[in-house]
Amino acid sequence: MMDFYQGQQNLLQQAGRIVESETIPIDQASGRILAQTLSASLDAPAFNNSAMDGYAICGLKSKEWQLIGTVAAGDPQQIKLQSGQAVRIYTGARIPENTDAVIMQENISIIADSIKSTQMPKAGENIRYQGEELHQGDTLLQNGAFLNAQAIGLAAAQGARQLQVYQKLRVIIFTTGDELVSDNSDRKQNQIYDCNRPMLFAELKQHAFIEPIDGGILPDDLDTITTTLAQAASTNHSIIISGGASVGDRDFVKPAIAQLGRIEQWKLAIKPGKPFGWGRIKHCQIMLLPGNPVASFVTFKLLGLPALHNAAGRLQTDALPQSYQAKAAFTILPNQQKRRQFLRGTLRFTDTGPEVQPLIKQGSHMLSGCVQAQVLIDIPAETNIEPGQWLTVYPI
């Protein structure tokens, strides 16, 4: 069986961008993927300005400075200080010519039309200098960057009002199996409610660069599955199918895809989620997830979603799921599991660092464990775990 991280690498290498670009107003770009490299059109700051409310002075060795005026943010007046002079200045206001420092108002005493400082001022103190953050032409954001609130603010600070972004990735989600129903009135005694499709749909709805589509439940019928997938592939960028990734006699998804395109069946050395399929129908990407809810959730979070990020144009390094290190607050001794496990667990912060503890409900059908969990805990195969050992965890 293939190691999980090798499978993840293989998947991202194959999951190249499959969407074109469009230009939209910046106020509609939150959560989208940038489709251009954005450069600074201005120095940042654009001019020398005050970092706080205070007094701009000329003459560091002076003991007293004569007040000659006031400069507020946005004030167009140009003032040139002479030695021994000062002006009242406010945060963001342009620094007068010949200013040596800005003294905080808290460190000033005023005597008539003069000021004294309670502390010796330092050259350049409390002055934001032109270009100290960015110079005109510097790269602001790279092609493929995720446009979060900070990125939107940075672009807006440079005067951007429109941004070129990648089109939304159209992803249609199916579940398979005659045992599934979605309507309470239709459920028979031998059937169960479909939870995977609503779960995956809800996950995708959190991403502004993805347009999720509910494809419904596919019956256990080869002709119906083949016809449905052919139609879905013609109008969508990606197809997600939960169930049908195994090798049972009633798993018709893989034979249908084989007729329409190509499919790779990977057996990943992970628990939960050993069966995972990946392929294409023409230009449409396809992913097969396990049918058990927890296995479907875990493989989608760690494999499927990063592949969709990549297909949507995001930088491959940013497409990988976030992870960090935490100490084990539990023991697995001896660990005889031959597959890498992703245990659902809780996280707490202590004086000695973050600690994780697995939940009791770890069955691949126990979705309640995922609801209670905060992280997926990476447990390497056949590796003993002892308290205090540092482990990789993935927030969920």
Those residues with Cβ within 8 angstroms of residue 134's Cβ, 6 or more apart along the chain or in another chain = 40, 43, 44, 140
Average pLDDT over residues 365-378: 92
Residue 101 lies in a domain: yes
Both 200 and 279 in a single domain? yes
pLDDT digits (tens, 9 = 90+) for 229-246: 999 999 999 999 998 766
315 vs 352: CA distance, rounded Å? 34
93 vs 240: CA distance, rounded Å? 54
Both 239 and 286 in a single domain? yes
**Amino acid present at 205:** K
Lowest mean pLDDT across 122-126, 179-183, 209-213: 179-183
Both 152 and 29 in a single domain? yes
- Tokens describing residue 334: 């001896």
The number of beta carbons lying within 10 Å of the beta carbon of residue 148 is: 11
Q: What is the DSSP letter of 219?
A: P
Environment class of 130 (CB within 10 Å of its CB; exposed 0-12, middle 13-18, buried 19+) = middle
Length of the chain, in residues: 396
pTM (2 decimals)?
A: 0.88
Is pLDDT of 290 > 70?
Answer: yes
- In this prediction, residue 15 has a pLDDT band, given cuts at 50, 70 and 90, of confident
Both 161 and 173 in a single domain? no
Average pLDDT over residues 384-395: 97
Q: Are 182 and 193 in contact (CB under 8 A)?
A: yes
Residue 10 lies in a domain: yes
Q: Are 129 and 45 in contact (CB under 8 A)?
A: yes
Average pLDDT over residues 26-46: 97
Average pLDDT over residues 201-209: 96
Number of folded domains in the chain? 4
pLDDT digits (tens, 9 = 90+) for 52-84: 999 999 999 999 999 999 999 999 988 999 999
Average pLDDT over residues 135-148: 97
pLDDT of residue 176: 93
- Best CA proximity match to 190, nearest among 177, 200, 173: 177
Residue 134 lies in a domain: no
Average pLDDT over residues 268-274: 89
Both 240 and 260 in a single domain? yes
Last residue of a domain, one of 284, 301, 319: 319
Q: Are 101 and 89 in contact (CB under 8 A)?
A: no
Most confident of 310-319, 326-335, 359-368: 326-335
Both 30 and 71 in a single domain? no
Last residue of a domain, one of 277, 303, 319: 319
Both 277 and 350 in a single domain? no
Q: Are 214 and 173 in contact (CB under 8 A)?
A: yes
Both 295 and 209 in a single domain? yes
Those residues with Cβ within 8 angstroms of residue 130's Cβ, 6 or more apart along the chain or in another chain = 43, 45, 46, 47, 48
Helix, strand, coil in percent for the chain, rounding step 5 = 25, 35, 40
Both 228 and 303 in a single domain? yes
Residue 123 lies in a domain: yes
**Residue 374's CATH number:** 2.40.340.10
pLDDT of residue 190: 85
Residue 312 lies in a domain: yes
State which residues form the domain around 331: 324-395
312 vs 31: CA distance, rounded Å? 12
pLDDT of residue 247: 62
